[in-house]
Amino acid sequence: MGLLTPTQITCPVCGHRYTRQVHQSVDAQSEPHLKQLLVQERLNITTCPQCQNQIMLAVPVLYHDASKPMFAVFMPMGAARSDVHQQQMVGALTNRFMSDLPPEERKGYMLQPKMYLTLQSLADDIMLADGLTREEIEARRERTALLERLLSSQTPDELQNTIEASLDQLDDTFFDVLDTWIRQAEAQGDEEMAEALASLRRQLRAAVAPEEAAQEEADAAEQRRELLEVLLNERNEERLRAMVAAVRPVLDYHFFLQIADRIDAAQEAGNEIEAKRLTRARATILQMLDELEEEDRQALTQAAEFLRQAISQPALEDYLRQNSERLDEAFFAVLNMNIAEARRRNDENTARALGSVGAIAAKIMEEKAPPELRLLNELLRAAPQERARLLEERSELVTDEFVAALQQMQRAVGKANSQISQQLAALAEQVAEFRGRNGQGG
């Protein structure tokens, strides 16, 4: 699915010429990430490899959402030489798009796509169809412009001045936009941008709610202190290994610096026994981390080989179902790394093919999951305005077991991933309100 066209680009800043694949169709159901970029008016933005200037490419784009149904085409002004040429371009795009569809998915409404001359008007209608009001759309657009201004700040002082002048706009809508950008950067494998956005988010949360941010930092410091105590005092090696595996992401440089401080303090106090005990505990934890990393390397190597075998199978879904026990965390990690690398190389065809593998694998895994967990996954994937509808339609699954699964996921994520933890907290609040209205308790 999806029309990609290689396009020759000349940078208007430095004159460098290069070729990039541009998207000429977006299917809302199979390509939600492209839909989000289209709605944000960021689809087909390219960066000049020579001067890093960003260029918005004005090319015709077909948009399809079978759930509405909605079939439209963005035809930028000046793209066609005449009305006849415009009709020919639209017809060619429509034919290319429909020819990739199975016969049963080709519908009559596709023969007369609605025409849009500006990307903004198409984006507005997409959001209106999704249930947003004009006021909400305008608010999102204003917050997007603010985010772009924040990211373009040249100095810390300029950034701080922009933050102070825009505190009234740093609301839930703004953070929803920011979280969407973070997810997109992560999905595209742009770790630098994802970290920059996450860092900006932390700074903005501190500006909007300084007391809350300070309390969160204090809570996190206390949790790290308690974790340090537990790990340093655990005598059972098997339990210690299980705990190290569970909290490995937070066992970073600062964690071992705290242990070093403890060792130094014990030595200064003349308590050599305690210093030696702490030194042994540190060595044990480091050895366990090394062993876990080696296990990860082996698991990733095996997953990479399994992925290579899978994509060469003529009956991919059957093969994955027969080997469903190998659809584990390592498999999805390798898959995502390969997708990110393909996108980094602008190899959208490979990224799409691998994305299809992931979609089939996720479907197989979700089919095996309990109904409550399947609903939880659906809610996390859904847009915020769609979650209320899902809860109403599947109310029989919003049980105590469902709430327990949600709470378990919250505990597992903790504060290590602020974006996901906040998404889970918002969902938990929405679920509690829904259960309260339906007499099911909090």
- Residues of the domain holding 223: 218-362
Confidence of residue 196 (pLDDT cuts 50, 70, 90): confident
Do 251 and 301 belong to one domain?
A: yes
| Mean pLDDT in residue range 314-335 | 90
Of 66-80, 208-222, 285-299, the one with minimum mean pLDDT is: 208-222
pLDDT (tens digit, 9 = 90+) per residue, 342-369? Answer: 877 777 788 888 888 988 988 888 787 7
Do 300 and 375 belong to one domain?
A: no
Mean of pLDDT over the chain: 85
Do 317 and 235 belong to one domain?
A: yes
Q: Which of 362, 388, 414 is the last residue of a domain?
A: 362
Please report the pLDDT score of residue 187 as a whole number.
67
Task: Compute φ and ψ for 315, nearest 5 degrees.
Answer: -115, 80
pLDDT of 417 strictly over 50:
no
Number of domains in the chain: 4
Please report the pLDDT score of residue 328 as a whole number.
85
Q: What percent of the chain has a predicted confidence (pLDDT) above 70?
A: 95
Pairwise CA distance, residues 435 & 442, whole Å = 6
pLDDT of 428 strictly over 90:
no
Please report the pLDDT score of residue 416 as a whole number.
42
Pairwise CA distance, residues 322 & 319, whole Å = 5
Are 182 and 194 in contact by the 8 Å Cβ rule? The answer is yes
* Within-domain flag for 442: no
Q: Which of 102, 130, 158 is the last residue of a domain?
A: 130
Please report the pLDDT score of residue 442 as a whole number.
45
Do 358 and 378 belong to one domain?
A: no
Do 278 and 256 belong to one domain?
A: yes
* Within-domain flag for 77: yes
Please report the pLDDT score of residue 68 as a whole number.
86
Q: Which of residues 260 and 247 earns the better pLDDT score? A: 260
Do 290 and 300 belong to one domain?
A: yes
pLDDT of 146 strictly over 90:
yes
Do 348 and 226 belong to one domain?
A: yes
Please report the pLDDT score of residue 220 as a whole number.
76
Is there a cis peptide before residue 76, judged by omega within 30 degrees of 0?
A: no
Q: Which of 85, 101, 130 is the last residue of a domain?
A: 130
Element (H, E) at 64: strand 61-65
pLDDT of 94 strictly over 80:
yes
Residue type, 262: R
pLDDT (tens digit, 9 = 90+) per residue, 325-337? Answer: 999 888 988 888 8
Are 153 and 159 in contact by the 8 Å Cβ rule? The answer is yes
| Mean pLDDT in residue range 210-216 | 80
Pairwise CA distance, residues 247 & 224, whole Å = 10
pLDDT of 93 strictly over 80:
yes
In this structure, what DSSP letter does residue 360 have?
H
Pairwise CA distance, residues 313 & 320, whole Å = 9
* Within-domain flag for 213: no
